[in-house]
Amino acid sequence: MTKLFFRIMGLAGVMLLVQCQTPPENGTARITDSNTPLHLLQPDYDTPYVIPQKEEITAVLSRIHAYLDETTPASLIDRETGNEVKDYQTINSGTIFRKGDFRLVSYEWGVTYAGMLLASEASGDPKYAAYTFSRMKFLSEIRPYFQKIDREQPVNHVAIYSILHPHALDDAGAMCAAMIKSLQAGLEADLDPMIVNYIDYISNREFRLEDGTLARNRPMRNSVWLDDLFMSVPALAQMGKYSGNPVYFDDAVRQVLQFAQRMFNYEKGLFMHAWIQDMEEHPQFHWARANGWAVMTLVELLEVLPEDYPGRDKVLDLLRRHIRGLADYQSPQGYWHQLIDRNDSFLETSATAIFVYSIARAVNRGYVDAKVYGPMLCLAWNAVAAKVNAQGQVEGTCVGTGMGFDPAFYYYRPVSPYAAHGYGPVLLAGAEMISLLGNAFPKMNDSAILFYEEEIKTDAPIFTIQ
């Protein structure tokens, strides 16, 4: 017999099925409408169709933590000898990071640091925050020595060159936001010089269009990348809260609304990935991870933007429209496709995890309804969890991706467990799901996951709300 026969939803359903079974005539039970409650049989799902449990989520997060803690050492070595540099006063132009599987100062790792902080907050386990704290403290301690070398020998690209000389929003935004979050979470370290340098780059040195929209001259002149919303706005938002200066909030809101004006498709509820000022037509490729960066930007901005701040209502409206659009394109496996509205493109993990975090956060903050979005979040989290292997690696993540104007560019991007983009989003998603399940009341009813406003105390497979 297949899984279709064996898995029955609810104890009462199992008992009823046993009672109704007709004794087999030839050793094989024949299941019919007259002897079996067929509606209680479990479909042969590709992704487990169950309500996630906190213990199961924390087990996934713990595997990721163990893998990353082992494979991202916070230490320096001498390039020539390979010996560890323990005395930071001996740092020179030949001092480099001890290599692990991932870089400690990339935008992907800024997301990972934030994910570790949220995982501690949601689970109550301090080991995740300790991961972020130890590496942030390490960066704060080595910065003055590398800065001295950089000033004396400016032609040499020292190990923390992207901290000292950010040359793109990728270098600045996610790391800046994570540093501010670290300080707010209780870390005692001198991160302010790095934070100030990062925010100065975002605010004053990054290229902008005439109306102030953040842009790049890559791959073409006056290119607006949807990714850059996340590479800038969360840092601006966090800086607005950290400094108390509303100018950062003003810029953050302006960026969101001006990006949306150019790039949001109100009919589909999705963002296009790229917008080139000099194009008369604007090809719409709705790349999943870029849409993830966008929806995460909206929840991150709303998290710190004062309730009555000008433009907040427009940001919230955009978030709700985007969440509705995303929900309409979720696959039956729980994932989203690489190109969201093209279901023959591959199913992608990192974007799915970002959507889980962002939509769950929106539910937890009351922006959208748990009854509407809770079930799809359970399915999506179960899909993401299935991509975390026994070693703690996140599989199925698209590697770093520029912008393109043909479908093949997106369809054939490689995937790799060493694509760093997957780890922070999965940590964030798991942490936010723990919070969601702690605040909500999911229950199986007639084989469907449903969310209720109060605890339902019954083991019946089908029940009516009085």
Q: What would the mean pLDDT of 199-221 be, rounded to a whole number?
A: 98
**Is the per-residue pLDDT at 11 higher than 70?**
no
* Residue 27 pLDDT level (bands cut at 50, 70, 90): low
pLDDT at 41: 84
Mind listing the pLDDT tens digit for each residue in 356-408? 999 999 999 999 999 999 999 999 999 999 999 999 999 999 999 999 999 99
The whole-angstrom separation of Cα 337 and Cα 296 is: 17
Q: What percent of the chain has pLDDT over 70?
A: 94
Q: What would the mean pLDDT of 183-205 be, rounded to a whole number?
A: 98
pLDDT at 28: 66
Mind listing the pLDDT tens digit for each residue in 57-113? 999 999 999 999 999 999 999 999 999 999 999 999 999 999 999 999 999 999 999
pLDDT at 215: 98
* Residue 4 pLDDT level (bands cut at 50, 70, 90): very low
Surface-to-core class of residue 453, CB atoms within 10 Å of its CB (0-12 exposed, 13-18 middle, 19+ buried): exposed
* Residue 33 pLDDT level (bands cut at 50, 70, 90): confident
Q: What percent of the chain has pLDDT over 90?
A: 90
Supply the mean pLDDT for the chain: 94
All domains of the chain in start order, with CATH = 1-44 (no CATH), 45-452 (1.50.10.10)
pLDDT at 156: 79
**Is the per-residue pLDDT at 14 higher than 50?**
no
Judged by average pLDDT, the poorest of 5-9, 287-291, 310-314 is 5-9
**Is the per-residue pLDDT at 10 higher than 50?**
no
Residue scoring higher pLDDT (13 or 290): 290
The whole-angstrom separation of Cα 363 and Cα 47 is: 23
The whole-angstrom separation of Cα 203 and Cα 248 is: 8
**Is the per-residue pLDDT at 5 higher than 50?**
no
Q: What would the mean pLDDT of 21-41 be, rounded to a whole number?
A: 73
pLDDT at 26: 57
Q: What would the mean pLDDT of 233-251 be, rounded to a whole number?
A: 98
pLDDT at 332: 98
- Partners of 276 in the beta sheet? 223
Q: Is residue 350 within 8 Å of 357, Cβ to Cβ?
A: no
HSE-up of 459 (CA within 13 Å, CB side)? 7
Q: What would the mean pLDDT of 312-340 be, rounded to a whole number?
A: 98
Q: Is residue 410 within 8 Å of 401, Cβ to Cβ?
A: yes
pTM: 0.93
The whole-angstrom separation of Cα 460 and Cα 466 is: 14
Q: What would the mean pLDDT of 403-431 be, rounded to a whole number?
A: 98
pLDDT at 3: 39
Q: Which amino acid is at 288?
A: A
Q: Is residue 271 within 8 Å of 265, Cβ to Cβ?
A: yes
Q: What would the mean pLDDT of 177-191 be, rounded to a whole number?
A: 98
Mind listing the pLDDT tens digit for each residue in 133-156? 999 999 999 999 999 999 998 887
Mind listing the pLDDT tens digit for each residue in 246-299? 999 999 999 999 999 999 999 999 999 999 999 999 999 999 999 999 999 999
Nearest to 91 by CA among 142, 23, 165: 142
HSE-up of 276 (CA within 13 Å, CB side)? 16
Give Dmax (Cα) for the chain.
Answer: 89
**Is the per-residue pLDDT at 329 higher than 90?**
yes
Q: Which residue has the tokens 């909030």?
A: 249
pLDDT at 29: 74
The three state secondary structure string of the chain is CCHHHHCECCHHHHHHHHHHCCCCCCCCCCCCCCCCCHHHECCCCCCCCCCCCHHHHHHHHHHHHHHHHHHCCCCEEECCCCCECCCHHHCCCCEEECCCCCCCCCHHHHHHHHHHHHHHHHHCCCHHHHHHHHHHHHHHHHHHHHHHHHHHCCCCCCCCHHHHCCCCHHHHHHHHHHHHHHHHCCCCCCCHHHHHHHHHHHHHHCCECCCCCECECCCCCCEEECHHHHCCHHHHHHHHHHHCCHHHHHHHHHHHHHHHHHHEECCCCEECCEEECCCCCCCCCCEHHHHHHHHHHHHHHHHHCCCCCCCHHHHHHHHHHHHHHHHCCCCCCCCEECECCCCCCCEEHHHHHHHHHHHHHHHHCCCCCHHHHHHHHHHHHHHHHCCECCCCCECCCECCCCCCCCHHHHHCCCECCCCHHHHHHHHHHHHHHHHHHHHCEEEEECCEEEEECCCCCCCCCCCCCC
